[in-house]
């Protein structure tokens, strides 16, 4: 989690967010210790982060291309994500004089609140959130008198002064001065798009797992079957498929070409199909796999 700042009021709405995504690999207890130090504000930059991670024997992967804020016409959106045992998302939706905050866990909405009038919303770890809120308090009496563009410039000034390794060096900003007349409808549509995307993604990931499993089962060495009536009859522990896909056609005996006689054992040697008796190459139009 890094930072997303939002403002909504009679002068419009503004949102700002960084682009950093951090992944930690290592023993869970060590990852927790590293995160505790990181979110306390002690670690100021990437060099310090890598050094501290090494002390905890944790590998850190940094990606500074994640888009956490976006503009949907007169609706602004920002999101922070935490992925561990469960996937947790917190989203804010802003327009002129209106804000919605939504918590999502494992693609289920667990909390939703809608506010009207004016206000500031800050998502981030405790150090960053405290820093941002403290800086904004210095200007809180002026916010309603400022233009949306001026508030955007204020956010930029605040964010550039934060020294914390959870943040990217660059930030994104969006501004709207008009309100979204169908606020609830626009919010629900964006959430539907998220859930549909997540559903499609989960299907694709499941399919990829199946494809990976099939690929791992392709036979690379050993006896696979015997010639009976001019076809290759596979041993019980094997099967053949027409292609690598989530639902392939499955065969227990398949057509085979080459020089062989009845009763010949067919083997795979160095990923090549051969007659075991003579070493002569043979060919099939199917993929032989372990069951």
Query: According to the model, what pLDDT value does residue 30 have?
Result: 92
**For the residues of 46-58, what is the DSSP string, one character each?**
HHHHHHHHHHTT-
User: Could you give the CA distance from residue 173 to residue 164 in angstroms, rounded to a whole number?
Assistant: 19
Query: If DSSP codes are grouped into helix, strand and coil, which group holds residue 5?
Result: strand
Buried-state track 42-59, b at ≥16 Cβ within 10 A, e below 16: ebeeeeebeebbeebebe
0.85 surpassed by pTM? no
What is the average per-residue pLDDT within 32-56? 92
What is the distance in angstroms between the CA of the first residue and the CA of the last residue of the chain? 43
Query: According to the model, what pLDDT value does residue 281 have?
Result: 95
Residue 255's pLDDT band (boundaries 50, 70, 90)? very high
Contact criterion met (CB below 8 Å) for 36 and 20: no
* Whether 231 and 253 share a structural domain: yes
Q: Determine, yes or no, domain membership for 27.
A: no
* Listed residues 178, 209, 240: the one ending a domain: 209
* Whether 8 and 108 share a structural domain: yes
* Whether 100 and 184 share a structural domain: yes
The token pair at 276 is 């075991």
Q: Which domain holds residue 171?
A: 3-20+64-209
**Domains held by the chain: number:** 2
Name the DSSP letter for residue 286: S
* Listed residues 209, 227, 251: the one ending a domain: 209
Average pLDDT, the chain: 92
Rounded percentage of the chain residues whose pLDDT exceeds 90 = 72
* Whether 157 and 248 share a structural domain: no
Size (the chain), residues: 291
* Whether 10 and 153 share a structural domain: yes
* Whether 165 and 86 share a structural domain: yes
CB atoms within 10 A of CB 169: 11
């Amino acid at each position: 989690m890094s930072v997303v700042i939002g403002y909504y009021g009679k002068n419009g709405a503004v949102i700002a967010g960084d682009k950093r995504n951090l992944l930690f690999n290592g023993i869970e207890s060590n990852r927790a210790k590293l995160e505790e130090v990181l979110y306390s504000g002690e670690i100021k930059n990437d060099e310090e982060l890598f050094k501290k991670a090494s002390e905890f024997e944790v590998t850190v992967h940094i990606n500074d291309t994640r888009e956490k804020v976006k503009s949907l016409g007169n609706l602004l959106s920002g999101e922070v994500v935490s992925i561990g045992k469960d996937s947790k998302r917190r989203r804010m939706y802003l327009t002129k004089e209106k804000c919605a905050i939504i918590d999502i866990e494992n693609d289920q909405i667990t909390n939703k609140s809608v506010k009207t009038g004016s206000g500031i919303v800050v998502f981030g770890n405790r150090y960053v959130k405290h820093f941002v809120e403290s800086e904004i308090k210095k200007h809180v009496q002026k916010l309603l008198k400022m233009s949306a563009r001026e508030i955007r410039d204020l956010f930029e000034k605040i964010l550039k002064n934060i020294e914390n390794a959870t943040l990217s060096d660059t930030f994104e900003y969006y501004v709207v001065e008009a309100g979204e007349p169908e606020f609830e409808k626009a919010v629900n549509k964006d959430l539907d798009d998220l859930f549909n995307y997540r559903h499609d993604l989960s299907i694709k990931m499941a399919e990829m797992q199946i494809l990976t499993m099939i690929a791992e089962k392709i036979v690379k060495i050993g006896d696979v079957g015997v010639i009976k009536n001019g076809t290759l009859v596979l041993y019980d522990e094997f099967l053949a498929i027409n292609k690598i896909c989530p639902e392939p056609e499955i065969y227990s005996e398949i057509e085979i070409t080459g020089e062989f006689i009845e009763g010949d054992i067919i083997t795979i040697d160095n990923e090549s199909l051969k007659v075991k008796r003579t070493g002569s190459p043979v060919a099939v139009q199917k993929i032989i796999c372990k069951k």
